[in-house]
Structure 1
Amino acid sequence: MPLNSLLLQNVHENVHVFSMKLNYSEPKIYTGGVDISTWSKLTAKQKNNALERPWYLYFSFRDPSSGKLVRQPNIKAGANRFKTKTERYAYLRKLQQSLIQLLQFGFNPYEDNTDLENQFLSGEKTQSKKEPQIKNQVKEKDLKKENIKPKEVQEIPEKTIEEALDFALDIKVSMMNKNSFVQYSSRIGLFKKWLKSKEYLNKPLSFITRRIITEYLNEVLKRTSPRNRNNSRTDLASTFQLLEDNEWITVNFVKRIPKLKSVPKRNKTYSPKQEDEIFKYLEKNDPYMILFIRFVSYSFLRPIEICRLKVEDIDVENKLMYIKSKTKPVQKKIIPQILLDHLPDLSQKDPRANLFGRYEIGEVWDAEPINKRNEFSKRFKAVKDHFKLGSDYGIYSFKHTYVTKLYVKYVKTMTPQQAKSKLMNITGHVTLDALQKYLRDIDAEMPADYSEDFA
């Protein structure tokens, strides 16, 4: 039988002290996905978002047929007509106290509670009754004898942590691109492995807490780096948000775990001398690699974007290429003449073949783009080893090098703003702010010599 606010509001008048075996979980208040104790620290937007969501009471009760605690329908009882946090929370707190007392008096959602309801609503004193012992299995004739009504809502027993994580993986595989999902599933797999080592994996989902997640993230930090720790936190927050959205949990507490300050690694730009030496070395030892680097240098593409290119994506006649970028499903870019001059004839190549095959241009290469990128990175490692270059140098350093070259040349005849506006169309940055941050990160903007200012 569903609860109603009138019944809950009359409980206080009839309650006395008693004790009995509990067959229910403590009723809790859902406050729009935020921790009510941190309300004063929330932004106005966060407060409004929380108040726009429904607030309610929730609890579980032991199912007579299975003997397991089952989540009951949420109890709103008109709480959301209150528009402020203070009024809404105070109202739900009163209902929470009443619900606890009502359950203590023997309210059972699987039984007919008419007599109990009449006693409270009429203001009569009542004696607490003992809860019936829940058996693992109840026969149909016993249900009729006890007058247990059919459930109005079909509830699912609480899942284990492992079941919840597997559910998230099954959903995420359809929501993410293949490369992103590989990284995501790897991090969730490491989390599952850690839970198993702690003997947590088969515990109920409600067992997992913010403290447990924080403990795991601290171990990731000790083992790896702040960046890996933050990436793990992001993937876990995404997982628990999916569980909240699907009503497996009421609050995604992982997103309230703060990120750590992490300094991202940036590839350095090459000096003119380094660049000249690298190209001379490649001409002798790996000329195929030179064209790959020219795509990075002249078209400002990421290595993985180059690895996705097919022969059909190159329109030589109109000097255009069609790429799948990080920010767009398909992006159209010009092929500058300086790059076009180095392209071989593609007219006889299979249009569906990779532009950059494993060993030659226009070769079918059945591998994932990320594996192809790794293959070119391994080939370039021979260059790094030869010149004893550190980990802050790589193929992507050529993009930084050539963006810097263009910017330095443009500012000789243009204002910095004009130079950035022209450069923005070439590099593909969506906003000027993004380009300016990128130029600062690669130290493309350098001041003129200010020695005379000291004179």
Structure 2
Amino acid sequence: MESILEFITLEHRIEHDLEHKKQFSAPKIYNANGDLNKRWYVYYSFRNPISGKLERQKNVYGITNTFSTFEERMYVLSTYARNLLKLLEQGYSPYNDNTALYQNLKKEEENSVPAKNAIATEQLMTDNTPISIKSVLEGNTGNPTIHPEKLESANCNADATLTVEMALQQALSIKKNVVNERTLADYTYKAKHLLKWLEENEPTVVAMEQLTKQHLNTYLNDILGRTSARNRNNYRIDLSSLFQTLKDNDLVAENYLKKIPPLRSVPVRNRGFSLKEQEKIFLYLEERDPLLLLYIKFISYAFLRPIEACRIKVEDVDVTNKRIRFKAKNKPYKTKILPQLLIDALPDLSGLPKENLLFSPKGIGLHWESKLANRRDYFSKRFKEVIKDHFGFNENYGLYSFRHTYITKLYNELIKEQAPFSAKSRLMLITGHTTMTALEKYLRTIDAEMPADYSDML
């Protein structure tokens, strides 16, 4: 019985339609996130004829891990993945004897390509020593150094087809040095989601050249049907960024996602608390959860975003000069005034390790090994369990509500003694908005700007 590795080193032209019942998953590439110290391979699943379930099959390594660069390994694996898919479409089954299929395909291959290519397919030249493909794939070559240009000449008309998975991995590897950790995680999640959807709904779409605008439109419509227009638009934006990176690097000819328009959606924003609600929450937290109260005070008094509060380290808090330094939304680092209200609420930080985060689950300045997004989610869940569930606040209220509440309160105090423009100019310095337009849009969004009573005009 012939090895599957020997099958997929043959280049052949015959393609059959998939059976109505899905018998296998499209082969996928595992590249260990670019780590060349780990083993890379192609993997796939096939339906077990006894259990009727799709089961993971043996990994296909081949000669992949004899190469030392990302491009060389992806070249080999993309060829394996493409040829394996063709074989599966033609009836290959890891549960059957495939000898007859192998012999037929080999005969067709020899008859359809020039003799020199057929010979080259059987040999890979390493240091001028001919080595059979079968021995290389089965690991009996002593792990030779294989020259990529010789591999290419021996690949028997096998173009280096750029698979969808390979393309997205390339885009993510480029983005890794451009965007922050949280954004990269979002890109990675959405790329995997698209690959999973293609595997389940369009298993024959493996190469990037097979992926069309219609496929992507159908994918986005599927997200719309299961979730919302807002979520669908978010997937479109993130995936479009990856596809644009591929286009900018000449890996694809077109970014189809830019041609798919966004859908109108109503943004979900937290409401501010009333003065009475805010006072009740603070009084309750003084007894129930002082740590969460201090975290909320940084959002309320320093006008930080919840994720910005999660970035603060002990060394970022300068009590002497009344300053706080943190990584902001659109800037590497930002410095803000530390109001006396916060200084009075802070414990003594002098004896705490400066490199530790200010906020951790069990106290101030303790070691906490956790990703930024997980830290933010932790405090959001803690707020829900301690406050929202207790007081019965719905999904319209969250940690952001405190920022909205106190910016509204501060603005209303400023316009009592100053003209609106002067009040907004001072407010910009406090909130950190970079333009007057951005601040005015924010104030309208949270309904901070309200007109005077106009009853006398009616």
Distance in 1 between residues matched to 2:443 and 2:202, nearest whole Å: 49
Distance in 2 between residues matched to 1:360 and 1:265, nearest whole Å: 32
8 Å contact from structure 1 (residues 240, 252) kept in 2:
yes
Structure 2 match to 1:333: 336
Are positions 1:208 and 2:221 aligned together? no
8 Å contact from structure 1 (residues 192, 201) kept in 2:
no
Q: How does 1:415-430 map to 2 (within 5 A)?
A: 415-430=419-434
Distance in 2 between residues matched to 1:424 and 1:397, nearest whole Å: 19
Q: Which runs of 5+ in 2 are unaligned?
A: 1-78, 80-111, 121-148
SS class of match (1:341): helix
CA deviation string 1:49-75 (max 9, x = no partner): xxxxxxxxxxxxxxxxx9xxxxxxxxx
Structure 1 match to 2:101: none
Distance in 1 between residues matched to 2:304 and 2:382, nearest whole Å: 18
Structure 2 match to 1:253: 256
Q: 1:197 aligns with which of 200, 203, 210?
A: 200
Distance in 2 between residues matched to 1:335 and 1:317, nearest whole Å: 10
CA deviation string 1:126-148 (max 9, x = no partner): xxxxxxx754853899xxxxxxx
Are positions 1:445 and 2:449 aligned together? yes
> What is the Cα deviation at residue 384 of structure 1?
0.6
Are positions 1:167 and 2:170 aligned together? yes
> What is the Cα deviation at residue 388 of structure 1?
0.7
Distance in 1 between residues matched to 2:178 and 2:204, nearest whole Å: 25
Distance in 2 between residues matched to 1:139 and 1:356, nearest whole Å: 65
Structure 1 match to 2:270: 267
SS class of match (2:365): strand
8 Å contact from structure 1 (residues 243, 249) kept in 2:
yes
Letter in 2 for 1:403: I
8 Å contact from structure 2 (residues 244, 255) kept in 1:
yes
Superposition TM-score, scaled by structure 2 size: 0.65
> What is the Cα deviation at residue 296 of structure 1?
0.4
CA deviation string 1:305-337 (max 9, x = no partner): 111111001111111111001111111111011
8 Å contact from structure 1 (residues 162, 201) kept in 2:
no
Are positions 1:412 and 2:391 aligned together? no
8 Å contact from structure 2 (residues 311, 326) kept in 1:
yes
Distance in 2 between residues matched to 1:256 and 1:202, nearest whole Å: 20
Structure 2 match to 1:187: 190
8 Å contact from structure 1 (residues 162, 202) kept in 2:
no
How large is the Cα RMSD of the aligned pairs? 2.5
Change (3 A) 1:248 1:136: farther
Q: 2:399 aligns with which of 390, 395, 400?
A: 395
8 Å contact from structure 1 (residues 160, 201) kept in 2:
no
Give the fraction of aligned pairs with identical amino acids, expressed as a percent.
Answer: 47
Structure 2 match to 1:61: none
Distance in 2 between residues matched to 1:236 and 1:186, nearest whole Å: 10
SS class of match (2:324): strand
> What is the Cα deviation at residue 425 of structure 1?
0.5
8 Å contact from structure 2 (residues 187, 239) kept in 1:
no
Distance in 1 between residues matched to 2:191 and 2:412, nearest whole Å: 45
Change (3 A) 1:305 1:206: same
Distance in 2 between residues matched to 1:178 and 1:369, nearest whole Å: 8
Q: 2:371 aligns with which of 365, 368, 371?
A: 368
Are positions 1:435 and 2:414 aligned together? no
Distance in 2 between residues matched to 1:202 and 1:446, nearest whole Å: 54
Structure 1 match to 2:18: none
Are positions 1:217 and 2:215 aligned together? no
8 Å contact from structure 1 (residues 168, 242) kept in 2:
yes
Structure 2 match to 1:138: 117
CA deviation string 1:285-306 (max 9, x = no partner): 1122111111001100011111
SS class of match (1:138): helix
8 Å contact from structure 1 (residues 161, 201) kept in 2:
no
How many aligned residue pairs are there? 316
**Which 10-residue stretch deviates more, 167-176 or 426-435?**
167-176
CA deviation string 1:173-203 (max 9, x = no partner): 2322111111111111111000001243653
SS class of match (1:266): coil
Are positions 1:299 and 2:307 aligned together? no
SS class of match (2:335): strand
CA deviation string 1:215-255 (max 9, x = no partner): 00000011111111011111221121122122222121211
Q: Once superposed, which parts of structure 1, at least 4 consecutive aligned residues long, lie more than 6 Å away?
A: none
Structure 1 match to 2:3: none
Distance in 1 between residues matched to 2:294 and 2:326, nearest whole Å: 17
